[in-house]
Amino acid sequence: MSSVFPLAETLKHYDKKDFQADLYTGLTVGVLLIPQGMAYAMLAGMPPIYGLYAGLIPPVIYALFGSSPHLSVGPVAISSILLLAGVSRLAEVGSEHYISLVITAGLLIGVLELGMSVFKMGFFVNFISYPVIAGFTSAASIIIIITQLDDILGIQIPRFTHAYDTLLYAIQNLPYTHLLTLLIFGVSTGAILLIKRLGRFLPSALIVMAVATLLCYVFQLDQYGVAIIGSVPAGLPKWVWPDLSMSTIISLMPTVFTLLTIGIVASMSMAKAIETKHEYYDVQPDKELLGLGMAKIVGSFFQALPTDGSFSRSSIVSDSGGRTVMSSVIAAALVAISLMFFTVLLHYLPLAVLSAVIVVAVVGLFEYRQAISLWRTHRSDFLMMLTTFVVTLSVGIMEGVACGVMLSISVMLYRSTHPSVVELGRIKDSTRYRNLDRHEGAIKRSDIAIVRFDEQLYFANASFFKDSIKQCVKRHDRKKLKHVILDSSNIHSIDSTGIRVLKEVEQDLAQQNITLHLSNVIGPVRDILYKSNLLNEPDKHHMSVHEAVQFILENPTVPEVDYSRGAMQTNVVDDKPSKKS
């Protein structure tokens, strides 16, 4: 039972100290979850109450199935803006049809995650590189802030397809800014940041919301043009059946796959990052998919906004001493109490305050430090990040995600089909062989070429492998070169195309009176080579590069060659067997 429900195993060993730690953590996260839930629901174009519903059922369901005791599942800013971008193309934002589509999207994402868990498909998340995610989230953070300009400035802004149109309209209408609304936003933002500096675990957003709501009620600020939330339904959510008509499912698929991709990658990477700080549990991708999927599925029947792992709340769970998933259950209980007894108090909450909560939360998503680091260390990854950033910001969020996915797959394929192929030389007075381009003093022979191929050998790079061997042969004196040693230590797998090309290379070299030797072949590849009759000649198969060289030098059929000195700073020698070699 514990293999399906990790919570059951947790409760077997649950004690008073665990409860005390989880109680403190759960209350801390709960008071953050309430304002974030309302804010992120509005960011998704939904009434605030749906964000509270997302903080009620999904965290409890995840606690039953998930493998990370520190991942806080609930409404997330990135998922909310993705929902808005995708579903707003299908229905008017805020309408009943729009709300229905958002709920159905959550169910569909959950079903797909559940399927991925059942069929052990968690590895698919590895197809999206971190630079792409960083570029997308950086652009999304800017778009999120731009979408809040109407509530920040207190002006009516039409809904545009592109963020830059929204920004341009806001700039053109700056003279019509409602100054009191802007003041509330500025003071709220400053107050949240100040309270955060005073203590990380202080409920800064909740404190500011409470004070702002009280002031708005006392001074009747809504009478002066300040937009407020208004009536918020009280009580726990009712059971609903999502719209599962075929037309609805088909229309939602682009949004569903986008949210599925980003949500899984973000949640998994977050859970893995937090796992490194703790030694008493292991994050299991398939169980994470099960937990995230079931949270969305069950949550959709209780009108919950689609959920994922939240970085800010998960960090608090980890850093404040939370020990088990019971902290998430306690946080959900606090949300339930709020829904039953305190929603009436939210009537006078200014929308500008919720915008402040959103802005403070998403500013940290802008990965400028990562961009600087990539520029210094890996320009190709920087270009991936920059391209995803520009496309997301200029064309759209959905298009940015699609571009990022294609970039990740393209780069992965290119690197796999064009791996590192290096020629090795012997380090002086040792039996080690290293890259000639990196070790100036490495010694190479004019009659032996030693090549290392740093990738699996399969259909996509077989032609590149063959061409690389040809180029290596051309760089040598054809009259002196008699042997090519392939260092296979990094060839971790080989397919039928790789076998065929390896045979072709062997035949091509033989026609030039050059013998191909294999060295450092790992077990699984060696088994395949034996079955393919490529290792039937023991004289051509060696346990190490040095063993291959020694065999060639000691073989009496190897012709004598003259000594020579290579160009530049590489030493090229032909020596007879010696104890030092």
Q: Provide the b/e sequence for 486-501 (b: ≥16 CB within 10 Å).
A: bbbeebeebeeebbeb
Burial category of 167 from C-beta neighbours within 10 Å (exposed 0-12, middle 13-18, buried 19 and up) = middle
| pLDDT values of the chain reduced to their tens digit, one per residue, 581 residues | 555 677 777 788 888 999 999 999 999 899 889 999 999 999 999 999 999 999 999 999 999 999 899 999 999 999 999 999 999 999 999 999 999 999 999 999 999 999 999 998 877 767 778 898 899 999 999 999 999 999 999 999 998 988 999 999 999 999 999 999 999 999 999 999 999 999 878 889 999 999 999 999 999 999 999 999 998 899 999 999 999 999 999 999 999 999 999 999 889 888 888 888 877 778 888 899 999 999 999 999 999 999 999 988 998 898 888 889 999 999 999 999 999 999 999 999 999 999 999 999 898 889 899 999 999 999 989 999 999 999 999 998 889 988 988 988 898 899 999 999 999 999 998 999 999 999 988 898 899 999 999 999 999 999 999 999 999 999 999 889 999 999 999 999 999 999 999 999 999 999 999 999 999 999 999 999 999 888 778 888 999 999 999 999 987 454 433 333 333 333 444 444 433 33
Q: Provide the b/e sequence for 352-389 (b: ≥16 CB within 10 Å).
A: bbbbbbbbbbbeebbbeebbeebeeeeeebbbbbbbbb
Angle at 335 between CA 331 and CA 339, to 5 degrees: 170
Q: Which residue has the tokens 């806080």?
A: 72
Instruction: Name the class of domain 421-572.
Output: alpha beta
Partner residues linked to 433 by β-bridges: 426
H or E, element range at 424: strand 421-426
Q: Which of 134, 111, 204 minimizes the C-alpha distance to 404? A: 134
Q: Which of 560, 488, 566, 551 minimizes the C-alpha distance to 515? A: 551
Measuring CA to CA, how many Å separate 502 from each of 296, 463, 485, 527?
A: 49, 10, 13, 15
Cα-flanking dihedrals φ and ψ of residue 92, to 5°? -70, 130
State the DSSP code for 237. Answer: P
Q: What is the pLDDT of residue 14?
A: 87
- Give CB contacts under 8 A, 24+ apart, made by 409-413: 409/127, 411/129, 411/380, 411/384, 412/127, 412/129, 413/460
Residue type, 416: S
Q: What is the rounded CA–CA span in Å between residue 265 and residue 132?
A: 11
Given a contact cutoff of 8 angstroms between Cβ atoms, the answer to whether 474 and 498 are in contact is: no
| Pairing between β-strand 443-444 and β-strand 571-572 as defined by DSSP bridges | parallel
Altogether, the residues listed in the chain come to a count of 581
Q: Which of 77, 135, 163 minimizes the C-alpha distance to 395? A: 163
Residue type, 307: T
Q: What is the rounded CA–CA span in Å between residue 381 and residue 361?
A: 26
Q: What is the rounded CA–CA span in Å between residue 170 and residue 150?
A: 8
Given a contact cutoff of 8 angstroms between Cβ atoms, the answer to whether 40 and 305 are in contact is: yes
Number of helices (H) and strands (E) in the chain: give both, helices first: 23, 10
Model-wide pTM > 0.85: no
| Pairing between β-strand 421-426 and β-strand 433-435 as defined by DSSP bridges | antiparallel
Q: What is the pLDDT of residue 330?
A: 96
Domain definitions of the chain by residue range: 16-412, 421-572
DSSP H stretches of helix in 156-245: 163-172, 179-198, 204-219
Q: What is the rounded CA–CA span in Å between residue 428 and residue 420?
A: 24
